[in-house]
């Protein structure tokens, strides 16, 4: 299999105490239907468990869904743990209810993109299909 035909591996997870998972399951299905390899880590994950899963699954991307308001605590912790584990190359997406003022802060920390409620699924798929330089550069 050539590099161009290997599906991207994406870990999706709900971190913290947020138990609302309908949105992340819809995104998981859309990414799977677009040909990506999706690993759904489930609800109530700790940052440590999510980073372990990213490493174990050799993921290209980590998608975090947060609706609890804890994004400015949990996302920086995940980013820190990814770097400490030698996984700083893994792209991080955040989805959920994120105040506009916090989106710039998250991207400055290293989040590749924040997708809010109602984002069309093809927009997420198209973003992930862009060349790496276009997404991160």
Question: pLDDT by residue (tens digit) across 12-30?
Answer: 999 988 888 999 999 999 9
Read off the DSSP letter of residue 131: -
> pLDDT tens-digit profile of 81-114?
999 999 999 999 999 999 999 999 999 999 999 9
| Residue where the block lists tokens 């912790």 | 77
The rounded Cα 2 to chain-centroid distance in angstroms is: 25
Task: Specify if 21 maps to a domain.
Answer: no
Those residues whose C-beta lies under 8 Å from the C-beta of residue 65, and which sit 6 or more positions away, are 12, 13, 14, 18, 21, 23, 24, 27, 94, 95, 96
Per DSSP (E only), the strands in the chain are 9-15, 37-45, 61-66, 91-96, 113-115
Rounded CA-CA distance 42/50 in Å is 10
Task: Specify if 82 maps to a domain.
Answer: yes
Rg (CA), the chain: 14
Task: Specify if 106 maps to a domain.
Answer: yes
- The number of folded domains in the chain is 1
Task: Specify if 39 maps to a domain.
Answer: yes
Rounded CA-CA distance 93/35 in Å is 18
Task: Specify if 112 maps to a domain.
Answer: yes
Task: Specify if 18 maps to a domain.
Answer: no
Task: Specify if 20 maps to a domain.
Answer: no
Torsion sign, CA atoms 32, 38, 41, 44: negative
Task: Specify if 19 maps to a domain.
Answer: no
The CATH number assigned to the domain holding 7 equals 3.40.50.280
User: Which range of residues forms the domain containing residue 68?
Assistant: 3-12+26-136
> pLDDT tens-digit profile of 50-78?
999 999 999 999 999 998 899 999 999 99
């Amino acid at each position: 299999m050539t590099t161009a035909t290997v599906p991207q591996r994406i870990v999706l997870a709900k971190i913290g105490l947020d138990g609302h998972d309908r949105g992340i399951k819809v995104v998981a299905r859309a990414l799977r239907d677009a040909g990506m390899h999706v690993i759904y880590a489930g609800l109530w994950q700790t940052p440590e468990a999510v980073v372990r899963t990213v490493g174990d699954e050799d993921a290209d991307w980590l998608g975090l869904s947060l609706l609890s308001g804890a994004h400015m605590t949990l996302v920086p912790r995940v980013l820190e743990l990814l770097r400490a584990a030698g996984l700083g190359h893994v792209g991080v997406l955040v989805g959920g209810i994120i105040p506009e003022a916090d989106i710039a802060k998250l991207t400055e920390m290293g989040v590749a993109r924040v997708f809010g409620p109602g984002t069309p699924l093809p927009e997420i798929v198209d973003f992930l299909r862009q060349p790496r330089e276009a997404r991160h550069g």
